[in-house]
Structures are given as structure tokens and as C-alpha cells.
Amino acid sequence: QKEVEQNSGPLSVPEGAIASLNCTYSDRGSQSFFWYRQYSGKSPELIMFIYSNGDKEDGRFTAQLNKASQYVSLLIRDSQPSDSATYLCAVRAGGGNKLTFGTGTQLKVEL
Amino acid sequence: DGGITQSPKYLFRKEGQNVTLSCEQNLNHDAMYWYRQDPGQGLRLIYYSQIVNDFQKGDIAEGYSVSREKKESFPLTVTSAQKNPTAFYLCASAPGTAQETQYFGPGTRLLVL
């Protein structure tokens, strides 16, 4: 069983719609959760991090964490073609400094 | 202009050759990391360092070596023992505080001739 799982996609949404990206993790001791965006051929860039159960909003992005169900999600409101990229979920286990990454979900925002 | 730099952008390795990838940061971060990314796969940790003159193996350290002689620098050597080195190599750094947010350099793409 993979430690961090994401649907590889592609996830296609029309411009202006809400894109919902999901991630599940296996280590119940995980404490920190990160979403990175990676454009083709480029390095990952941090979008958001979340530590506590519930929602965290930053502009068009909302991260949602449910530790009991061991999932974290990223919502992108008013999706734009420039949001088309691969979104990587990363999890840091409790007491450690290493991140475990999922394989990423490819998002395509269509005009 | 603070950030993480990696060089070269592209690197070609011949059979049996060792090559070294450079990673430099001027963010005053304590922790530095090396990842490998293959198509369709997530990032896999090769080596990491929490402090100068100390480093630990990650999940796929075989065929790689590192050094951390300066806080700003964390070079990665891909040795001839690494039989499948073609990949996108990413260096990251983090402040070293309890809540570790890692920031990535632009990456080096290694190809085998």
C-alpha cells in the first residue's frame, strides 16, 4: 500500500469551475500536509500547507484536512487555464522532518 | 535575491562516469534535501541533511553520495554504481524548524549518453 495516494488523472474541469483534488495517507501519526503545484518540466512550488483539521483558505485555494478519515484535499475555485499542472500532495509524519510525496494529480482546465 | 540554485540545468553522463550536481541556497536554511523524480512517479528522497557535516540516507540512496561542508551547499554525486540515473533531480531546503516547509530549486535533468 502506498503511503500517500493520489488519483493520477487527468482531471478535466471547465474554466471557472471548482477543481477538487484528493489525497489519502496511511500514517495516522502524520502531522503536516502540503500541496505543491508542478508545471511540466519545472520544479514543484508550494501552494499551501495545513496542520489542523478543517479548512484553510488562501485566495482561490482551500485545503481541507480530515485526520480521522486520513485524507486531505485541495479545492481550486474559479479554475483558470493557468492552473493546468500536476498537483503533488506531501505528508510529514509526526516527529520527523521527511516529506512523503504522492505521485500527483494532473489537472487540465479547459476553455 | 534569495533562493535555491541548481546547476547545470541539463547534464549528460557517460557509462561508468561519476557526475556531481550542484545545489546552493542563500536562505540561511539548516536543512537540505535531494529528490529524484521519474515520469509518472512522485518525488523519492535520496539524501537529506539537517545540519552542516551531517547527512542521512533517504529511501533510494544506493549509487549516490553527498557532502555538507557548508550550510549553503549540498552537492550530490551520481556514481557509476547507479545503473539507472536518468531522471529529474530536485534539491530542496527548509528552515529546520519543527514545521518543515520545503522549497525547491529549479532542478537538474540528468541524461545518460
How close does chain A come to B15, measured CA to CA in Å?
25
Per residue in A11-56, pLDDT (tens digit) is 999 999 999 999 999 999 888 999 999 999 999 999 999 999 999 9
Q: Which of A8, A42, A98 sits opposite B45 (nearest CB)?
A: A98
Place B39 in a pLDDT band, splitting at 50, 70 and 90.
confident
B42 interaction partners in chain A (CB closer than 8 Å): 4, 88, 101-104
Contact A98 B41 (CB under 8 A): no
DSSP B18: -
Mean pLDDT of chain A: 93
Rounded distance between C-alpha atoms, residue A47 and residue A61, angstroms: 8
Contact A103 B90 (CB under 8 A): no
Place B96 in a pLDDT band, splitting at 50, 70 and 90.
confident
Q: What share of chain A is helix, strand, coil (3-state, %, to 5)?
A: 5, 55, 40
In the predicted model, what is the mean pLDDT of residues A69-78? 97
CA distances from A35 to B33, B39, B60, B105 (A): 18, 19, 23, 16
Query: Per the structure block, which three cell numbers stand in for B14?
Result: 557517460
**pLDDT for A88 beyond 80:** yes
Question: CA of B6: which chain A residue's CA is closest?
Answer: A43
Q: Please state, as a whole number, how many other Cβ atoms lie within 10 Å of the Cβ of residue B60.
A: 15
Question: CA of A6: which chain B residue's CA is closest?
Answer: B42
How close does chain B come to A45, measured CA to CA in Å?
7
Q: Which of B42, B102, B105 sits opposite A104 (nearest CB)?
A: B42
pLDDT of residue B95: 87
Beta bridge partners, B65, equal B77
Q: Which of A8, A88, A98 sits opposite B48 (nearest CB)?
A: A98
Rounded distance between C-alpha atoms, residue B9 and residue B40, angstroms: 21
**pLDDT for B65 beyond 90:** yes
